[in-house]
Amino acid sequence: MNSLDAMTSETVRSLRALFTDIDDTLTTEGKLLGDAYQALWRLKEAGIAVVPVTGRPAGWCDLIARQWPVEGVVGENGALAYFEANGKLSRFYHPDVAQGDPQARLDEVRKVVLEEIPKSRVAKDQFSRLFDLAIDFCEEPPDLGLEVAHDIAAIFKRMGAKAKVSSIHVNGWFGDYDKLAMVRLFTEERWGLNLEEHKNEFLFCGDSPNDEPMFAYFPHSCGVANVRDFEESMTHLPTYVTEQRGGDGFCQLAERVLSLL
């Protein structure tokens, strides 16, 4: 991973948009602080579209697409996307989301996780999810640690679901998609672009293992400093890394991008 000093003006001046994770990338200790939110506005005003790509639920995505200075949002690890155009909110789902009642199937997984993993608990935002199950391992105390998070992910996979470990939750779902798969669809739906042909024109920022598909795909990617907490468990690391953690790191990235325009 290179420092932000290695980012060039040639790279930045070709950027159409910045995709970014939210938790522990835009936020700091669970809060979206003023400087990070202002960085979103500064990027927008400079002509750099921002699209959060998150494991957070559909209910959050509705609010984010309406009220944040963003071009849209991808949620539930790629299950869905929202964007606002001409004053109207639009949403669409990945074609490979589970059909029928995915929460009924996930309820069986939930029962096994809570039985087998002491002190595990369902994330408090589960009520506004459509397609996945989020198990909280450190958003609220007690912090169960990464080893336990991977044990939880193994239960999802044992029961036929996909699973990703974020910095706060283990998310599991039935369906063949991930963050990158939906970003491809979003890029085509929102801008009419084939992502494969234009991926050099996008930058991704994240912090944890569930961002690996994005780190692996985009030539221009950045991790905030806390990505180093997961370095040993990740195969694909970002191109650049900030000196600061969380939202402060995102602000560093935004400042670097803006200074090179």
pLDDT, average across residues 158-169:
94
Q: Could you tell me the pLDDT band of residue 32, with boundaries at 50, 70 and 90? A: very high
Question: Which domains can be identified in the chain, with CATH numbers?
Answer: 2-96+177-260 (3.40.50.1000), 102-173 (3.90.1070.10)
User: Which is more confidently placed, 72 or 86?
Assistant: 72
At 206, list the tokens: 């994240």
Per-residue pLDDT for 25 more than 90? yes
Q: Please tell me the predicted confidence (pLDDT) of residue 210.
A: 86
- The share of the chain scoring above pLDDT 70, in percent, equals 100
Task: For the full predicted model, state whether its pTM sits above 0.85.
Answer: yes
Sheet-wide strand order for 132-136: 121-122, 132-136, 169-173, 162-165
37-46, 55-64, 92-101: which has the minimum mean pLDDT? 92-101
